[in-house]
Amino acid sequence: MEVQITSKNFEELKNGKQPLVVDFWATWCGPCRMVGPIISELAEQYDGRITVGKCDVEENDDLAMEFGIRNIPTILFFKNGEIVDKLVGAVSKQKFVEKFEALL
């Protein structure tokens, strides 16, 4: 299950026991709408092993600025509170699966 990432809960999730995947997106973004269902499916598949969240860049522009998000979708992969990988743009489900598996 996906969680909504906000400025208020980000630090807690980032430093949680599970790796964290954050999808930075916006409602008006076409590629974001293409990636969204893949992220949702993987959130279910990896539930209990990886925390998966979505961060609306318009509602949380401070987080987008903190991580230098200039293009969306941008997906950041965190482990032990640190960024370990990043994907920008619409990519295949297989590429996401590879990145998720690398977090475990």
Q: Is 55 a catalytic residue?
A: no
CA-CA distances (angstroms) from residue 104 to 37, 66, 82?
21, 25, 14
Identified catalytic residue from 5, 20, 29, 64: 29
For residue 76, report the phi and psi dihedrals to the nearest 5 degrees: -105, 140
Helix (H) or strand (E) segment spanning residue 36: helix 30-45
Identified catalytic residue from 21, 22, 32, 55: 32
The catalytic residue positions are 29, 32
